[in-house]
Amino acid sequence: MNASNTQRWQIPFFAIWIGQAFSLVGSQVAGFALVWWLTKTTGSATVLAMSTMAAILPGVVLGPFAGALVDRWSRKRVMLAADGFVALVAVWLVYLFWSGSMQVWHLYVALLARSLGEAFHWPAMQASTSLMVPKEHLSRVAGLNQSIRGGLNVVAPPLGALLLELLPLHGIMGIDVVTAGLAMTTLLFVTIPQPQRADAEAGQMPTVWADVRAGLRYVRGWPGLMAILGVAMIINFVVNPSFSLMPLLVTDHFQGSALQLGWLESAWGVGVVAGGLLLSLWGGFRRRIYTSLLGMVIAGVGIATVGLVPGSAFVWAVSALFVAGAMNPLINGPLFAILQATVAPEMQGRIFTLVSSFATAMMPLSLAVAGPLADAVGVRPWYVVGGIVFSLVGVVGFFVPAIIKVEENGHSQETATVPQAQSVPAAD
């Protein structure tokens, strides 16, 4: 990014960002309505679990290949195609609900399709951000991204519930179509830089599989990134079941109802918003990884506290979950900024999807283990053990040179193994 572009990056970037934010609102509200329809129609926990798997698997299985393709194609066109594809799926759902022909298997197909679109859209947006935003502002932008997602965790459920009272289901799906169209419209009028690949200019474009293998070699050859990936997998394994089992914690330990569950979920969402705003204003420590590691330590304490407080101290659990939620942007935002600032632009699609795929792959495994263990020993140990491990991982990270020096090592890794690319305007 040259000096002149640095001075006026806000208008094109935030034009896209606002459009995508509206699209996220539509998608979250539609997702809430679909899950509610599935719950009322079947009342089956197995069906709900299968719907979650349908929403996860495409990103896990196809993520690395999607990232390789994003690195080969125009990122603007990838985002336009992904938004358009999701809009077409929403149009199909509008028809199914309007005609009264909606069935459960239709929803599985829709969730798979929406997840496939996201598998391409997310790495394209992340990789484009690093080419549009100056490096010194990447952590702040990551904080804003975390804030909007946290805000949606607070707003989407009650908004979805309100719209279910006011509109038929095909009307809610129509909102998703409109917001996706708004995101596409903003993309049409903005130029997104596209990195030039040295191998493509030389007429030696490798195959997609070769690109995927190059991404894997890049990750393996960067000790700091490998260590962070291992940390992410451990945390996802020990912590994610806690959130899936939260309804049982509310009913069995706190003797609560849906109202108490809503308080806990809202506390997390409000915390994420607060943490994202803090990161966007502060920017974090100069060495970004310090911000993430400190966030891990504090978040682990918050999650462990939820499992340790007695049933009569529900307000302490709400407060602890707020603190843990506030740390979430401080953990993830700087890590995304490190990748955006350090990984070569022509590799970012692959690296983002590889990291996401490996980390997300732990979710079905952890849930498979958590169910039987929770039946045997209860839910609270997941919070206590998961929180303690979370904090310990953060503490240990301060003493691992590969993690502390991840940005410096990343720059030398990039220089040593990846041909340098120049950012040029995309051919629209």
Tens of pLDDT along 81-109?
A: 988 998 999 999 999 999 988 888 898 89
67 has a pLDDT exceeding 70: yes
- Do residues 406 and 228 lie in contact, with contact meaning Cβ atoms separated by under 8 Å? yes
Tens of pLDDT along 329-365?
A: 899 888 878 887 777 777 777 777 777 777 777 777 7
> Six-digit token pair at 75?
């990122």
39 has a pLDDT exceeding 70: no
Q: What is the pLDDT of residue 197?
A: 57
- Do residues 323 and 302 lie in contact, with contact meaning Cβ atoms separated by under 8 Å? yes
| Distant-in-sequence contacts of 34-43, Cβ < 8 A, 24+ apart | 34/93, 34/107, 34/110, 34/111, 36/160, 36/161, 36/164, 37/102, 37/107, 37/169, 38/104, 38/107, 41/104, 42/104
43 has a pLDDT exceeding 50: yes
Choose from 98-102, 266-270, 395-399 the range with maximum mean pLDDT.
395-399
399 has a pLDDT exceeding 80: yes
> Six-digit token pair at 338?
């490190």
Choose from 55-64, 253-262, 272-281, 348-357 the range with maximum mean pLDDT.
272-281
Q: What is the pLDDT of residue 391?
A: 95
What mean pLDDT is predicted for residues 14-20? 83
Residue 347 burial (C-beta neighbours within 10 Å; 0-12, 13-18, 19+): buried
List, in order of start, the domains of the chain with CATH numbers.
3-186+206-414 (1.20.1250.20)
Q: What is the pLDDT of residue 7?
A: 52
Read off the amino acid at residue 170.
H
**pTM of whole model > 0.75?**
no
Compare 5 and 63 and report the one with higher pLDDT: 63
What mean pLDDT is predicted for residues 195-216? 67
223 has a pLDDT exceeding 90: no
What mean pLDDT is predicted for residues 120-149? 76
Helix (H) or strand (E) holding 130: helix 104-132
Q: What is the pLDDT of residue 2?
A: 46
Q: What share of the chain is helix, strand, coil (3-state, %, to 5)?
A: 85, 0, 15
